[in-house]
Amino acid sequence: MIFPFNAGEVFKIALKIEDNGHLFYEKAAAMPFPDMIKGLFQDLGKEELSHKAIFQHLLDQLPKATTTATVWDPDNELDQYLKMMADQHVFNRSADQIEAMIKTISNPVDAVKMAMGFEKDTIVFFLELMESSDTDESRAQIRKLVDEERKHLKKLADILQKITD
């Protein structure tokens, strides 16, 4: 990493990832899959929006020490850098790119596995950012992000087991 991130910066990335995750699940739910799979994707899409609200609340509640910039940034380049990082990572594609990815899915198992891959990547991404964080308080707050994403991964793993048994 170029410089350490504080919890506020990481939560900004999380908000972008949740928006893009919602878009993915919304498009996946529109595919011609069994109702159980469609329902899962609809639920996960709603949860992405719920996570976004949780993350926004957590961001709003962060102590000033965990939201203060870690470097002098008079031109607001850090926000631009964080957006670029999020855009190039998990659940971060344009609507057209997500649509193209969805078109490569031929069955529910592939769809669930793709979603699991995205959720795993999101967890790894946040763990990496957590390691780069500047304070124990920041790391504790980022841990909350990881815990929320793990809930999605568990739901996907449970449904994958059901549809492959």
pLDDT at res. 32: 92
Mean pLDDT (whole number) for 44-50: 90
Cβ-in-10-Å burial (0-12, 13-18, 19+) of 135 comes to: middle
In this predicted structure, which of 52-61, 65-74, 151-160 has the lowest mean pLDDT? 65-74
Of 126 and 6, the structure prediction assigns the larger pLDDT to 126
CA distance 47 to 152: 8
pLDDT at 161 over 80: yes
- pLDDT, one tens digit per residue, over 10-20 is 777 778 888 88
Average pLDDT, the chain: 80
Looking at per-residue pLDDT, the higher value among 92 and 139 belongs to: 139
What is the predicted pLDDT for the residue at 158? Answer: 96
C-alpha closest to that of 67 among 11, 122, 124, 18 = 11
Secondary structure letter of residue 137 according to DSSP: H
Residue pLDDT, tens place only, 80-133: 666 666 666 555 566 777 788 888 999 999 999 999 988 898 888 778 777 766
- pLDDT exceeds 50 at position 2: no
Q: What is the pLDDT of residue 26?
A: 92
Q: pTM, whole model, 2 decimals?
A: 0.74
Query: Which range among 27-36, 72-81, 90-99, 155-164 shows the weakest confidence by mean pLDDT?
Result: 72-81
